[in-house]
Amino acid sequence: MNLIQQIENLLLPIATEESMEIIDVEYLKENGQQVLRIFIDQESGINLEDCTKMSHLFGVKLDETDIIKEEYVLEVSSPGIDRILKKEKDFIRFKGFKINITTAGAINNQKHFSGKLVAVEGNKIVVDDVTNGIVEIEIINILRAKVDPEI
């Protein structure tokens, strides 16, 4: 299990207790410092107070366990309007929305898809792609998927 998975597993009970969902966890170097970025959400949406509260709760747990040995900056935020989709339930929630997808392997000589998420069927999604029409994509083959805010 990698560090990102360990962090998510450590913080998941806290998020669940607060009726929050951990959408994504990133741990990367930015401007010479390590940044732990945690994206949270809930049915009613996220505001600044939610982020502040969860940052405090997560920070206490991370400090208690000392899971990250080096200095880092903790950022807790909402996933934004161009929210990342990772889990099957994410795709189910955003069925009917326009999404952008990058796949690991090519499907019909294409790795980038953009279109309406038409269906979620087990381990596959169905997208009405602007280039190729209806395309089935296995969730395991998706490198990155995001909601397109269509502004």
pLDDT string in tens for the chain (151-residue length): 799 999 999 999 999 999 999 999 999 999 999 999 999 999 888 999 999 999 999 999 999 999 999 999 999 999 988 899 988 989 999 999 999 999 999 998 999 999 999 999 889 999 999 998 999 999 999 999 999 987 5
Amino acid type, 1:
M
Please give the model's pTM, rounded to 2 decimal places: 0.81
Same domain for 93 and 30, yes or no, is: no
Angle of helix 48-65 relative to helix 3-17, nearest 10 degrees, comes to 120
Q: Does 82 fall in a domain?
A: no
Last residue of a domain, one of 49, 77, 105: 77
Last residue of a domain, one of 15, 44, 77: 77
Question: What span, in angstroms and rounded, lies between the C-alpha atoms of 30 and 129?
Answer: 34
Same domain for 67 and 98, yes or no, is: no
